[in-house]
Amino acid sequence: MAYQSELNTSRRYLMGPGPSDVHPRVLKAMATPLIGHLDPQFVDIMDDIKQMVQLTFQTNNHLAFVVSAPGSAGMETCLVNLLEPGDEALICIHGVFGGRMADIAERCGARVTRVEAPWGEPIDAQQVKAALEHCRPKVLAIVHAETSTGVLQPLEEIGRLAHEAGALFLVDAVTSYCGTAVKVDEWGIDAIYSGAQKCLSAPPGLSPVSFSDKAVEALERRNTKVQSWFLDLSLVRSYWAGAKRTYHHTAPVSAMFALREAYRLVLEEGLENRFARHRRNHELLKRELEALGVEFIVHPDYRLPMLNAVRIPDGVDDAVVRRRLLDEYNIEIGGGLGQFAGKAWRIGLMGESSTPNHVNMLVSALKAIL
Ligand SMILES: *Cc1c(COP(=O)(O)O)cnc(C)c1O
């Protein structure tokens, strides 16, 4: 594809760990002529988005907005605002993304205690309880849907333990958000971030975030400046929520148009209907794959409906199969990450990609290839 020729990408079916397929209404919204990022009409759009962030996180938090960068920047926003040098943090690690949180927390100068689970299993609340006997963390962080392993982490008990220990409860909901229940207020989550390109089915590059009043107080009590200027919530807040919206950075206007439409689709469908759809298509995929002899890695009690981690059958060449799916069928699935590299496929049924047609297409392509 030389630069002289017009862009000409294939129509792919996105069934990996994100991005997922995007509804035509979202693409159409993204092509809306630009307006300025301080235009009163854009300020109204930001208010709409903020309200839809609250509805989808099921929270009344005042601080709810969207970071102008991908999910990892949402992760970094939560950690750099809540941690100061010398603070303690307890980070639960059951895959790649927990490890990334620990790395960022250490870069903030925090003393990190790790609680780990084997890949493919959730963190056991008893381990967290035991670890809390030896540390006094300001933040206890955990990934809700570990995209690298396919595990859905139960949160309620660990959230209770965090609060009993006086810690703020921080949750990564990048993959779970808009695909399975994420009840921020009911579960006592103090800080949460997600991403646009997974079950929300918007283009990548944005990260919905929310902080409880308690987390905002912790931010206000800081002794040191947040190490990142761009992600410092005390500054970003006045752009998203100040009485007078002041310039902070130029918002990605077109991406926000797209996000607004993606949220409208989520709320038109209804959260509960959307969660049920994700479960149904996961069940369909499970039946079809098991009939082909392909096994799931995660115990049924902890399986993610939107990210299906399966064992690559013996004697099958991982790279060849994924390449053929892409070249011959226009289907993208994910390979294994970290410890699962070469051992697992990660099949995403996220948002617009969670349909019976997607499942049927993939299964018949796999049948032909295997
Ligand atoms: C995708 C993902 C991220 C990172 O999001 P990016 O948009 O790729 O930066 C973080 N956590 C989890 C659980 C994810 O699945």
Annotated domain spans of the chain: 2-19+271-369, 24-266
Q: In CATH, what number does 2-19+271-369 get?
A: 3.90.1150.10
To which H or E segment does residue 344 belong?
Answer: strand 344-348
Candidate from 147, 180, 308, 346 with most ligand 1 atoms within 8 A of CB, to mutate:
147
Q: Report the pLDDT value the prediction gives residue 276, as an integer from 0 to 100.
A: 98
Residue written as token pair 């069934």? 15
Q: Tens digit of pLDDT for each residue in 253-296? A: 999 999 999 999 999 999 999 999 999 999 999 999 999 999 99
Q: Report the pLDDT value the prediction gives residue 241, as an integer from 0 to 100.
A: 78
**pLDDT of 297 strictly over 80:** yes
Asked if 93 and 339 touch (Cβ cutoff 8 Å), the reply is no
Q: Exposed/middle/buried for 41, CB within 10 Å: 0-12, 13-18, 19+?
A: exposed
Q: Report the pLDDT value the prediction gives residue 141, as an integer from 0 to 100.
A: 98
Distance 95 CA to ligand 1 centre (A): 12
Average the pLDDT over 297-309 and give the result: 98
Domain 24-266 listed as CATH 3.40.640.10: yes
Residue type at 226 in one-letter notation: V
Q: Give the angle 230-234-236 at the CA atoms, nearest 5°.
A: 50
Q: Report the pLDDT value the prediction gives residue 169, as an integer from 0 to 100.
A: 98
Query: Using 50, 70 and 90 to split pLDDT, how confident is the model at 357?
Result: very high
Query: Using 50, 70 and 90 to split pLDDT, how confident is the model at 237?
Result: confident
Distance 145 CA to ligand 1 centre (A): 10
**pLDDT of 239 strictly over 90:** no
- Ligand 1 atom at minimum distance from 18 CA: 1
Average the pLDDT over 340-345 and give the result: 95
The tokens for 312 are: 């690559």
Tell me how far apart the alpha carbons of residues 16 and 357 are, in angstroms, rounded to a whole number. 15
**pLDDT of 313 strictly over 90:** yes
The percentage of residues in the chain with a pLDDT greater than 70, rounded to a whole number, is 100
Q: Tens digit of pLDDT for each residue in 32-45? A: 999 999 999 999 99
Candidate from 75, 79, 94, 97 with most ligand 1 atoms within 8 A of CB, to mutate:
97
The tokens for 75 are: 């992760």
Q: Tens digit of pLDDT for each residue in 72-131? A: 999 999 999 999 999 999 999 999 999 999 999 999 999 999 999 999 999 999 999 999
Distance 238 CA to ligand 1 centre (A): 26
Q: Tens digit of pLDDT for each residue in 134-171? A: 999 999 999 999 999 999 999 999 999 999 999 999 99
Q: Report the pLDDT value the prediction gives residue 300, as an integer from 0 to 100.
A: 97
Query: Using 50, 70 and 90 to split pLDDT, how confident is the model at 1?
Result: low
Tell me how far apart the alpha carbons of residues 34 and 42 are, in angstroms, rounded to a whole number. 10
Tell me how far apart the alpha carbons of residues 200 and 331 are, in angstroms, rounded to a whole number. 20
Least confident stretch, 248-252, 256-260, 356-360: 248-252
Q: Tens digit of pLDDT for each residue in 198-207? A: 999 999 999 9
Q: Considering the entire predicted model, what is its pTM? A: 0.97
Considering the chain, what is the average pLDDT of its residues? 97
Q: Report the pLDDT value the prediction gives residue 315, as an integer from 0 to 100.
A: 93
Distance 194 CA to ligand 1 centre (A): 8
Q: Report the pLDDT value the prediction gives residue 244, as an integer from 0 to 100.
A: 79
Least confident stretch, 61-75, 205-219, 228-242: 228-242
